Structure 1
Amino acid sequence: MAATLHDVARLAGVSIKTVSNVINDYPHVRPETRERVERAIGELGYTPNLTARNLRSGRTGAIALAIPDLSLSYFAELAAAVIAAAEDAGAVVLVEQTDGDRDREIELLKSQRLKLTDGLIFSPLGMSQEDVAFLDVPYPLVVLGERIFDGPADHVTMRNIEAARAATEHLIAAGRRRIAVIGAHEGEVIGSAGLRLRGYREALAAAGIPFDADIVGFTTLWHRANGATAMRELLARGVEFDAVFGLNDTLALGAMRVLQEAGRRVPDDVAVIGFDDLDEARYSIPSLTTVHPGQDWIARTAVTTLLERIAGAGEATPPRLLLADYRIEVRESAPAVEISAA
């Protein structure tokens, strides 16, 4: 016979209500009582009836994560971090892939599938600031990324402008003055590409270096192939540059491969810096200097924030903007430098 709630209460010498409070992780349980109940659960091998508990609470114990593309390393690593953070909190994650398509993203926000979950962590790519009204949904929602700001939901994101400025300043401090940038999007202002390009331009302006559109490589997607193609185009035009800022690591890795094929030494001839601090950046040859934008913090904070909203579903508190810290991870592709505080 499987152990019951009554069996746990009897062995621990507490009420059934106290056992329930421990299982549901209520905060107002004395540590010694919690320890006694948890020891009894372990001895008896008791497993809570999650289905019955969820029916009583009106919750499923699951959250949804919607991301553009699992084939992109950044989103794959983000999904893994969200799943790990949710598991630590006792929740499971259902992952949806939108392919960054605006219509699919809007459809997902209205999808009946979300009734299988208690809330959604949503990273839009096709939607834009004009679509902010679609974020006004009847369930807990946390938004990631840089496509929509000042919406009706909590927003967890990175400091794109400041971090891109720091990456560019790192190259300037290393003595580089002709800094190409790979991955810009035509006409974009809000979005990762637009914000990171803005940070790049701010760093140039602060150092008195004129912005040169001839050494900006535009792409549509941010895959290695796009970085490689953009770099081939720069080399074919014969423009001079002594550094490259890839607006993400995969672009930088693709560009770095083409530089090496062309006989350009990294970092002696051309220093290279990326953005995202993907795991593979540690193992490229040379290893890639990059911006660590706080993705683990973003994942943990998104999960914690969503679970707080789920727990207080009836509370009408204002949406929050939560920003991750960043740092430069110095490796072999760009030299170490000292940047004095402003």
Structure 2
Amino acid sequence: MATMRDVAARAGVSAKTVSRVFNGDPHVLPETRSHVEQVMRELNYVPNILATTFRSGNSSAIGVAVPDVVDPYFAAIAGAVDDAARDHGVATLLTNLSDDPARERGILESLLSRRLAGLVVAPTGTDHSWLKRWKDSTPMVFVDRAPIGLSADTFTDNDEAGGYLGTRHLIDHGHRRIAYVGDQVHLSTEVNRLAGYRRALTEAGIDLDDALVAAYVSDRDTAAAALHRIRGLPDPPTAIFSANARSSMLLAYAKAPATVAIVGFGDFPMADLLTPALTVIDQDPGQLGRLAVERVFERAEHPKRRLRRTTILDVTLIERDSCKVTPPGHG
């Protein structure tokens, strides 16, 4: 394999000049740049990234930490980060945070100890103030969920608007008893979606009923238990707003009755093939991932910029058949 010294010898320049050409130094004369680049191609020169890493003290990889790497939504974010990072010649290190907030710090510290070029994280924990000591050395961007106790660049969906939009859609179909089924209500995503759900009910003059809120639905057993409980209420719901794609999938596994209308937050593969096809609040996880990577590189270029920005992306409703079930006595 050709080395930088081999390229320098063939081109008749110093190794430092080869390095400057490879790194895009604008002060290299155009004719010198063209000649050195031609020699690089002839020798099929590939830079020694490991040596570069040791010299700079930074990794040539971006860390990506998401709650569940097999969840379609978070997998799409991770895939978009990887694609965008590769366009910059940087690899990614992907890790699974799981849904246990207590594990988050240890996992992230392990990643950060690698002296990453940057970190993109969809957090699960309840305190991120400990990350302050890493901010000056590692550009970090949060996606999907805002950090707690830390000012950082963040890209999220408009969760409150999505909760409102989905619930309002069910109200417009005549429903007055609408259940909320979600998971970890301490996370900013669910806090905001639940707030949107409640705002829609309040605006419609519908009394809030905490008995209709089912939290911590995280597996088939808890989904079945939640369905059993809310259907057993003296005045059971005629509709359900599902706060995330996983809850929606679990409701399908638990065989939510076709007589109950459903709107879910977040599309997922085969949602349109369910019977009835699921109406969803649609997000763009790929855009979240791409924007996060661009912000990481922007921070790396301008490390002294202190202002941290939060960007909220719009969501839309995709109407299918699951929302079209009308309540008894309506229509």
The answer to whether the superposition gives a TM-score over 0.5 is yes
Q: Is the 8 A contact 1:227 1:252 kept in 2?
A: no
- Between the two proteins, the alignment pairs up a number of residues equal to 322
Aligned letter for 2:261?
A: A
Q: 1:243 aligns with which of 222, 239, 261?
A: 239
Task: Tell me, yes or no, if structure 1 residue 63 matches structure 2 residue 62.
Answer: yes
Superposition pairs of residues 107-256 of structure 1, within 5 angstroms: 107-111=106-110, 114-125=113-124, 127-128=125-126, 131-138=127-134, 139-146=138-145, 148-149=147-148, 151-183=150-182, 188=185, 191-218=188-215, 220-237=216-233, 239-256=235-252
Shift of 1:36: 9.2
C-alpha separation between the residues in 2 aligned to 1:36 and 1:326?
A: 50
What is the SS of the residue equivalent to 2:281? Answer: strand
C-alpha separation between the residues in 2 aligned to 1:288 and 1:76?
A: 21
1:179-221 per-position Cα deviation (integer Å, ceiling 9, x unaligned): 2211265xx5653222211100101112222222232223x24
Superposition pairs of residues 237-316 of structure 1, within 5 angstroms: 237=233, 239-259=235-255, 264-265=257-258, 269-313=259-303, 315-316=304-305
Superposition pairs of residues 19-34 of structure 1, within 5 angstroms: 23-24=22-23
Aligned letter for 1:91?
A: V
Q: Is the 8 A contact 1:156 1:322 kept in 2?
A: yes
Aligned letter for 1:328?
A: L
CA RMSD of aligned residues (A): 3.7
What is the SS of the residue equivalent to 1:279? Answer: coil
Q: Is the 8 A contact 1:65 1:94 kept in 2?
A: yes
Shift of 1:15: 10
Structure 1 stretch 242-251 or stretch 23-32: which is displaced more? Answer: 23-32
Q: State the match for 1:95 in structure 2.
A: 94
What is the SS of the residue equivalent to 2:232? Answer: helix
Structure 1 stretch 250-259 or stretch 194-203: which is displaced more? Answer: 250-259
Over the matched positions of the two proteins, sequence identity in percent amounts to 34
1:28-85 per-position Cα deviation (integer Å, ceiling 9, x unaligned): 9999999998787556533233233334444321011222233444333332332222
Unaligned runs of 5+ in 2: 326-331
C-alpha separation between the residues in 2 aligned to 1:66 and 1:222?
A: 20
The 3 A distance-change label for structure 1 pair 18 and 168 is farther
The 3 A distance-change label for structure 1 pair 39 and 171 is farther
The 3 A distance-change label for structure 1 pair 116 and 150 is closer
C-alpha separation between the residues in 2 aligned to 1:297 and 1:317?
A: 24
Q: Is the 8 A contact 1:184 1:197 kept in 2?
A: no
C-alpha separation between the residues in 2 aligned to 1:76 and 1:82?
A: 10
Q: State the match for 1:339 in structure 2.
A: none
What is the SS of the residue equivalent to 2:142? Answer: strand
Q: 1:332 aligns with which of 312, 321, 325?
A: 321
1:234-292 per-position Cα deviation (integer Å, ceiling 9, x unaligned): 223353322211111221232244445xxx43xxx322111122224234333322112
Q: 2:309 aligns with which of 303, 320, 327?
A: 320
**What is the TM-score normalised by the length of structure 2?**
0.80
C-alpha separation between the residues in 1 aligned to 2:123 and 2:224?
A: 26
C-alpha separation between the residues in 2 aligned to 1:27 and 1:322?
A: 33
The 3 A distance-change label for structure 1 pair 30 and 282 is farther
What is the SS of the residue equivalent to 1:303? Answer: helix
C-alpha separation between the residues in 1 aligned to 2:96 and 2:180?
A: 29
C-alpha separation between the residues in 2 aligned to 1:66 and 1:20?
A: 33
Shift of 1:302: 1.4
The 3 A distance-change label for structure 1 pair 156 and 38 is farther
Q: Is the 8 A contact 1:61 1:92 kept in 2?
A: yes
C-alpha separation between the residues in 2 aligned to 1:162 and 1:57?
A: 44
C-alpha separation between the residues in 1 aligned to 2:318 and 2:37?
A: 42
Shift of 1:165: 0.8
C-alpha separation between the residues in 1 aligned to 2:174 and 2:28?
A: 59
Structure ranking higher on relative contact order (CA contacts 8 Å, 6+ apart): 2
C-alpha separation between the residues in 2 aligned to 1:283 and 1:27?
A: 54
Unaligned runs of 5+ in 1: 337-342
Q: Is the 8 A contact 1:184 1:216 kept in 2?
A: no
C-alpha separation between the residues in 2 aligned to 1:105 and 1:48?
A: 34
Aligned letter for 2:267?
A: D
